[in-house]
Amino acid sequence: MPIEFWRFLRRLVVILIGLNILFGSLYPISNGLDLNISDKLQHFAAYFLLALALGMSSRPLSRRLLYFILAALFGAGIEIIQPLVGRDMAFADFQVNLLGVGFGGILGIIIRPYFLFYLKTRKA
């Protein structure tokens, strides 16, 4: 498959992860959505995956760093508006979001060249 397809797929994954975070963060808890997983682990995993996908989805490092900052601001914005939908705003959640963005972003930056090398050298 052409590189353009993989680029489109990576961008689609970023959008889907972002929408999943938005829905999961703003869905009222009283409706019974309980995954029996630590709240902080959920925050870390969600933002880790978002930053990992962002780290693999663009070319220049400066653009990826901008995307990581935007992901962190996305997390902050969600925490700020959560009280409007009956959820609690928690600074600890934002801190864990930042950790997820940091670790996911670093891993995305590290593995992107290997992923691209694999795509270019594999047989169709």
pLDDT (tens, 9 = 90+) of the chain, 124 residues, equals 677 887 788 889 999 999 999 998 888 766 555 666 788 999 999 999 999 999 887 778 899 999 999 999 999 999 999 999 888 888 999 999 999 999 999 999 999 888 878 878 876 5
Q: What is the pLDDT of residue 71?
A: 96
Task: Give the structural domain span for 26.
Answer: 3-121
Q: What is the pLDDT of residue 36?
A: 65
Residue 53, SS3 per DSSP:
helix
Looking at the structure of the chain, the number of domains it has is: 1
CA separation, residue 71 to residues 41, 64, 113 (Å): 17, 10, 22
CA separation, residue 64 to residues 22, 28, 117, 121 (Å): 21, 32, 19, 24
* Identity at 98, one-letter amino acid code: L
Q: What is the pLDDT of residue 28?
A: 75
